[in-house]
Amino acid sequence: MCRILVINPGGTSTKVGLYEDENSLFVEKIKHSNEELSGFDSHIAQYEFRKNHILKFLESKGITLESLDAVVGRGGPFLPLESGTYRINDKILNDVRNGKVQSEHISNIGIFLASGIAKPLGIPSFFVDPVSVDEYEPVARISGLKELPRLSLSHALNMKAVARRAAKQLNSPYETLNLIIVHLGSGISVGAHKKGRQIDSSNANDEAPFSPQRAGALPLLGLIKLCYSNQYNEKEMVKKVLKKAGLYSHLETDDVEEIEEKITNGDKKAKLTLEAMAYQVSKWIGQMAVVLSGKVDAIVISGGIAHSRFVVDYIKNKTEFLGKIIVLPGEDEMEALAMGALRVLKGEEEAKTIR
């Protein structure tokens, strides 16, 4: 039996889970106040603070470190990588430490926490399917400006895990299927999975459907004018399009349940706005169907918003002509991380290494 510690750092919390093979013993969240975190000038600077909280938490649960077989941490927007489970080594740690990443994000610290706990114990540490999983075909990388190639940044961890779950329902190996995977969360990703590889996708921070918080693709000339309007500096613009856009921009809330309640009470603006988000998701599904030349075994809808009957029914009505639709609501990044490590520990998959 393999006992795996899972660590997933968030903006104001660190999620910690313990798995024995496929079974979750617990998944809990250690919360950190803004006051506690305000004293750190970078995410990596939070390492000792978060590690100490994790160790104290495990002690409080009666978990001895010596009982662990492996530790797995969340991976962030590193440089482009193939999908898979990776051993954490000095190369990837130094790359992140030296800023060799696509963007600064709290998830980058996950590999430091996993390695920092595992190394003194002499056990392996891993990360699985980071945000920067890149399996694009060459034609998918080219945009209309040579200075701005299309980047593969998506909710790869959950999307790959969901793809494998859907494959089991279809009684076929993931590597034999053509799937369109839709992740509906605070950011939205839509990906074309061809025979086990995500060969194209939306970029949740960039060209994508708008989401509860993010702007997605915008009218280009209008965006340029807004950037040069002297109303916002660069930092404010980034916050505007990534945190204060989408549903929030139109309705002053990013809570889909609250918006659905407004719709039930007759709010026409709320209804039109939520329909518009689902409409854009549906268009992206159509794009991914073209990427797969119309050969689609299933469209798989997942993420927190997949609990919304309003959104899912709208997408179904627009896209069901393309093929079978499978709805797997919610997201379980912790389980996906644990299962990635378990596949390696059981010899079902060979761990990759950054060189």
Question: 355 pLDDT exceeds 90?
Answer: no
Provide the pLDDT for residue 111. 97
Provide the pLDDT for residue 39. 87
Question: 104 pLDDT exceeds 90?
Answer: no
Provide the pLDDT for residue 35. 85
Provide the pLDDT for residue 92. 96
Provide the pLDDT for residue 105. 84
Provide the token pair at 12. 């104001």
Burial class from Cβ neighbours inside 10 Å (0-12, 13-18, 19+) for residue 59 reads exposed
Question: 103 pLDDT exceeds 90?
Answer: no
* Phi, psi dihedral angles at 291 (to 5 degrees): -55, -35
Provide the pLDDT for residue 38. 84
Question: 42 pLDDT exceeds 90?
Answer: no
CB contact at 8 A, 107 and 101:
no
Q: Which residues contact 208 (CB under 8 A, 6 or more apart)?
A: 187, 188, 189, 190, 202, 214, 216, 217, 284
Question: 95 pLDDT exceeds 90?
Answer: yes
Provide the pLDDT for residue 200. 98
Question: 125 pLDDT exceeds 90?
Answer: yes
Question: 57 pLDDT exceeds 90?
Answer: yes
Question: 48 pLDDT exceeds 90?
Answer: yes
Provide the pLDDT for residue 273. 98
CB contact at 8 A, 261 and 251:
no
Residue range 316-338, pLDDT digits in tens: 999 999 999 999 998 889 999 99
Of 44, 50, 52, the C-alpha closest to 76 is 44
Q: Residue 162 in 3-state DSSP?
A: helix
Question: 12 pLDDT exceeds 90?
Answer: no
**Cα–Cα distance for residue pair 306/299, rounded to 1 Å:** 13
Of 128, 124, 115, the C-alpha closest to 82 is 128
Q: Which residues contact 25 (CB under 8 A, 6 or more apart)?
A: 17, 18, 19
Provide the pLDDT for residue 50. 96
**Cα–Cα distance for residue pair 163/192, rounded to 1 Å:** 11
Question: 118 pLDDT exceeds 90?
Answer: yes
Question: 229 pLDDT exceeds 90?
Answer: yes
What's this model's pTM, rounded to 2 decimal places? 0.90
What mean pLDDT is predicted for residues 153-164? 94
Question: 58 pLDDT exceeds 90?
Answer: yes
